[in-house]
Amino acid sequence: MKIVAISGSQVPSTVANSIQAMKAVHALAQIGHDVTLIVPVSDQPHSNWKDLAKFYGLQIQFQVEYLPSASRRLFFLSAVRRAKSLKPDLIYVWPLQSAVLGLMNGLPVILEMHDLPSGRVGPLWFRYFRDFKGSKRVTIITKALGDALTERYGSYLRRADVILAPNGVEPERFEQLPDPVIARHLLGLTEAPTVVCTGHLYAGRGVDLFVELAKKQRDVQFVWAGGKPEDVETWKSKTTAIPNVTFTGFVHNGQLPMYQAAADVLLMPYSREIGISSGAGNSAQISSPMKMFEYLATGRAIIASDLPVFHEVLNENNAVFCPPEKLVAWEGALLALLDNPVRREELAQQARVDSEQYSWTERAKRILDGFVEVGR
């Protein structure tokens, strides 16, 4: 099947929406579809496939087309026009505007949603999408997001065309990981018991909690892999007197599993308000962090903030939960796990088993299943 995907994300970029879009489109190519991804031209130089594959940890090549446009708003229209000229069987989009314009142009549309429509016109665009006739399907990343959409917009589509599809993981990248001691050696880390967190350092990601735990556990190595250079420098300057804390800075997605494998315990110390890459908004009620699925596939003990949405994927058999505002609870949970290798291994084994249902390719199959046939 010929699929044209449209994303407003910058490529390449370290932000989550760019990584997620590339992973989702890659999965469509992995299951055998002819895929073109249209993204806006940016100030960054265009990358060739070899560089993109390394940056995002990809294997199967697909076409990435950089589309020039006079403005971001015009990009959504230009992208649909370009997509239509390619005569696809469907378009797979993230921007609401492109979803509506695709329907107006008679194209079958799959809209992937990660957040509620925002701003003054976002809700209006969603209502257009909801009410416009045509072949359409919505993919939501959490049940909580689906419930919030229903609360605001009613039964927005027929049940068969609302697909719950959490973010995913590529299990094959986590199959041959070394044990923590060897992984630490390969990365040049110390041999001390190690706690790892990966991802950006935006507000609400729990960096303060991470640092406070490190202060209290000086014989434990704390490693945060990822983050924008300016954020990394800020946190390095704040922790110069804490020798057991390391901020690595950006790590290529293909190298990330090794850092996660170096952990005895992986942390998800999110706050009750989680900032997004734009610097605005709060995703704590509806979030589906990609690191959660990577952590499961890594097969390490996980301590996560006790947010309701995380319970859609994590449970007491594959993770330990702590209230995000209670440092003493995190300290107790961490000490308990570091002192109990049997419990860590129990959690790790269940995490590996549970990760198998969250592969990107199975996600892609579920999203597409029956859509074109039903739509036509």
CB of 373 within 8 A of CB of 137? Answer: no
CB of 285 within 8 A of CB of 148? Answer: yes
- Per-residue pLDDT, 279: 43
- Cβ-based neighbours of 284, under 8 Å, separated by 6 or more: 204, 270, 271, 272, 273, 274, 307, 309
- Per-residue pLDDT, 32: 97
Mind listing the pLDDT tens digit of every residue in the chain (376 residues)?
999 999 999 999 999 999 999 999 999 999 999 999 999 998 777 789 999 999 999 999 999 999 998 888 899 999 999 999 999 999 999 999 999 999 999 999 999 999 999 899 999 999 999 999 999 999 999 999 999 999 999 887 888 899 999 999 999 999 999 999 999 999 999 999 999 999 999 889 999 999 999 999 999 999 999 999 999 999 999 999 999 999 999 999 889 999 999 999 999 999 998 765 444 445 778 989 999 999 999 999 999 999 999 999 999 999 999 999 999 999 999 999 999 999 999 999 999 999 999 999 999 999 999 997 444 3
Exposure pattern of 181-193 as b/e (b: 16+ CB <10 Å)?
Answer: eebbeebebeeeb
Secondary structure E strands in the chain? 2-6, 34-40, 63-67, 90-93, 109-113, 136-140, 162-164, 194-198, 221-225, 245-249, 265-268, 301-305, 320-322
- Per-residue pLDDT, 375: 40
Taking 3-state DSSP, the helix, strand and coil percentages for the chain, each rounded to the nearest 5, stand at: 45, 15, 40
Domains contained in the chain, CATH given:
2-168+359-375 (3.40.50.2000), 171-356 (3.40.50.2000)
- Per-residue pLDDT, 276: 56
Name beta bridge partners: 193: none
- Per-residue pLDDT, 374: 40
- Per-residue pLDDT, 43: 77
The pTM is what? 0.94
CB of 266 within 8 A of CB of 260? Answer: yes
- Tell me the two tokens of residue 355: 């990760």
- Tell me the two tokens of residue 47: 């990358």
Peptide bond into 95 cis (omega under 30): no
Largest Cα separation within the chain, whole Å, is: 64
Burial class (CB in 10 A: 0-12, 13-18, 19+), 206: buried
Name beta bridge partners: 5: 37, 92
- Per-residue pLDDT, 130: 94
